[in-house]
Structure 1
Amino acid sequence: MAQQQSQPRYKAVNKIALASLSAMVAETTTFPIDITKTRLQLHSISLLTTRPISAFQVAADIVRNEGGLQNLPAGPVYTPIRTVGYEQLRHAFTTDDNNSLSLPSKALIGGVSGVIAQVVASPADLVKVRMQADGQKVNQGLQPRYTGPLNALNKIIKTEGLKGLWRGVFPNIQRAFLVNMGELACYDHAKKFIIHNQIANDNIFAHTLASMMSGLSATTISCPADVVKTRMMNQAIGEDGKFRYRNSYDCVVKTVKFEGFRALWKGFFPTWARLGPWQFVFWVSYEKFRFVVGLPSF
């Protein structure tokens, strides 16, 4: 009996470890694009001019002035929680008579698992965004706020309190709900559709097609929330003792008012360029790792 009870726990630990490993591979591959996307989203609020700028210009500036496009990834914390959480919730709501959930049901449990994961990983995400944004200060000849991740963590706690680590948590979880609706639910549903309609077997071809679909849907749905999240998390107390944005709604209103409605999709192509390869690398790696250790397909 004890051995039977430990078996699901053992599988869950394996899934978490494999998801974390796959996330590290995907983050390492795509993180330069993530920095470019973040800088592009912050561009209009960080520079005195609002001249148009492309993702290629941003990337070139980072390489020229900072010597590289690497930084601190938060995916190895966030991704295992949301993927394993989604699978557990999917299993909990699936019965023997109905072994397939509807797309809206998958979207809901995908969003819920994303929210849970983002609340846990929000401090790591905050430090990542602050460190990415700091590079722009260097570009402008200013002194960066932080010397490294631990320094950023200590300064945030010292100046903003422990609650400061969850700065922007509400736009963060809004984005997490939307992006995981697109990523997890779409990948799961698309893969089953591809296999059921015999477009491909449960192999790398099916995983690639499903990951492409999930990347596009996740980007389209979540980009506005991602812009708001990035700006909310990056803002610090100004000289007047106030924040630029009071809340997510205020951020949306000011963004649309001063930059136009399209600004909510600022960084769309860098985001898509990151999510597409990230989805491919993560899902193909994760599915392959599961196969190697004897776990069933996601």
Structure 2
Amino acid sequence: MFSLLSSSSMKPNQESGRDRTKTKIALTSLSAMLAESTTFPIDLTKTRLQLHGQSLATSRPTNSFRVASEIVRQQGPLGLYKGLSPAILRHLFYTPIRIVGYEHLRDLFGSHGGSISLSEKAIVGGISGVIAQVVASPADLVKVRMQADGHMVSQGLQPRYSGPFDALNKIIRAEGIRGLWKGVFPNVQRAFLVNMGELACYDHAKRFVIQNRISEDNIYAHSLASVMSGLSATALSCPADVVKTRMMNQAVSNKERIMYNSSYDCLVKTVKIEGLKALWKGFFPTWARLGPWQFVFWVSYEKLRQIAGLSSF
């Protein structure tokens, strides 16, 4: 009888816990969509910059401003948003899994009553990012392919895809279902590094700012922590991001010879042909994007959690 009473008394708590999780997922998705829409042109510029230098035809030096200007000149301002729909679709899976997953794992590790260390937060963040990226990899692939299509248009070539669903169908027909997970290994590597730097650094930096009374738990603390985490995530992940972008962009067909046989082959060829600095191509647009992305995301997410009656992240 006591067991029945105890189990029945747990049901409201379990249900309220599930309700809180659902609320967090909804708020995370909304905040991610807002952040992605705001910073997408910077992400597009970064992707084009990372693809620059793969062929002799595009070997002349360039920079972020020149790449962005070229996109606007050839495709108009809306060209800066090519690939936005699969990017938003990706974040509907990717961001809730990694953010809510991190929070659950963090609370689980800290269930003994104390807060977990920075290294433990880094591991938890990395694991959450890996799981989320495996799920969201097909949408990420479509996003990269559609962003790279604009680069082909600038060379006078026809784009490969007319839209995200056309891209999805053509990739499956030409490369099979497994083709949707092309580049998943460098993608997962990048996700581990990004989330290790981003989530752990944001979490730790925010608590450092609050505990040392630099600021209250407000927009200033969230902004400062987001900038610090953006820099950390960019420095760690940029080489894997370059490899991921190049691996995901190359399509496979009987008529075409693939440039890279594996992630390691891509890494070696990139360094051999373009030098070690090429692994940090797009560093500043990546940081310029991660900083505002995290600012918009974390500030809106923390505010929405407050409105919904949830505790701070």
Q: Is the 8 Å Cα contact of residues 133 and 191 (structure 2) preserved in structure 1?
A: yes
Asked if residue 289 in structure 1 is aligned to residue 298 in structure 2, the reply is no
Counterpart of 1:164 in structure 2 is 179
Letter in 2 for 1:290: R
Aligned partner of 2:110 among 94, 105, 114: 94
* Corresponding pairs, count: 297
Asked if residue 217 in structure 1 is aligned to residue 226 in structure 2, the reply is no
Letter in 1 for 2:12: Q
Q: Distance in 2 between matches of 1:287 and 1:46?
A: 44
Counterpart of 1:41 in structure 2 is 50
Matches within 5 A, 1:1-298: 1=8, 2-46=11-55, 48-67=57-76, 68=78, 69-70=80-81, 71-72=83-84, 73=87, 74-98=90-114, 100-237=115-252, 241-298=256-313
Q: 1:46 deviation in Å?
A: 4.8
Q: Could you state the TM-score of these two structures normalised by the residue count of structure 2?
A: 0.93
Question: Is the deviation greater in 38-47 or in 259-268?
Answer: 38-47
Q: 1:241 deviation in Å?
A: 5.0
Superposed CA offset, 1:148-198 (max 9, x none): 000000000011000010000000000000000110000000000000100
Q: 1:5 deviation in Å?
A: 1.4
Q: Is the 8 Å Cα contact of residues 174 and 253 (structure 2) preserved in structure 1?
A: no
Structure 2: runs of 5+ lacking an equivalent = 1-7
Q: Is the 8 Å Cα contact of residues 25 and 100 (structure 2) preserved in structure 1?
A: yes
Letter in 1 for 2:206: K
Q: Identity, % of aligned pairs?
A: 69
Structure 1: runs of 5+ lacking an equivalent = none
Letter in 1 for 2:28: A
Letter in 2 for 1:163: R
- Which is greater in Rg? 2
Q: Distance in 2 between matches of 1:7 and 1:121?
A: 28
Superposed CA offset, 1:188-220 (max 9, x none): 000000001000011111000000100000000
Question: Is the deviation greater in 250-259 or in 42-51?
Answer: 42-51
Q: Distance in 2 between matches of 1:108 and 1:242?
A: 38
Q: Could you state the TM-score of these two structures normalised by the residue count of structure 1?
A: 0.97
Q: Distance in 1 between matches of 2:95 and 2:56?
A: 33
Q: Distance in 1 between matches of 2:58 and 2:113?
A: 61
Q: Distance in 2 between matches of 1:6 and 1:237?
A: 48
Q: Distance in 2 between matches of 1:153 and 1:49?
A: 27
Q: Distance in 2 between matches of 1:75 and 1:272?
A: 19
Q: 1:47 deviation in Å?
A: 5.4
Letter in 2 for 1:92: L
Question: Is the deviation greater in 68-77 or in 129-138?
Answer: 68-77
SS in 1 for 2:57: coil
Q: Distance in 2 between matches of 1:49 and 1:116?
A: 36
Q: 1:61 deviation in Å?
A: 0.7
Question: Is the deviation greater in 181-190 or in 232-241?
Answer: 232-241
Q: Is the 8 Å Cα contact of residues 172 and 179 (structure 2) preserved in structure 1?
A: yes
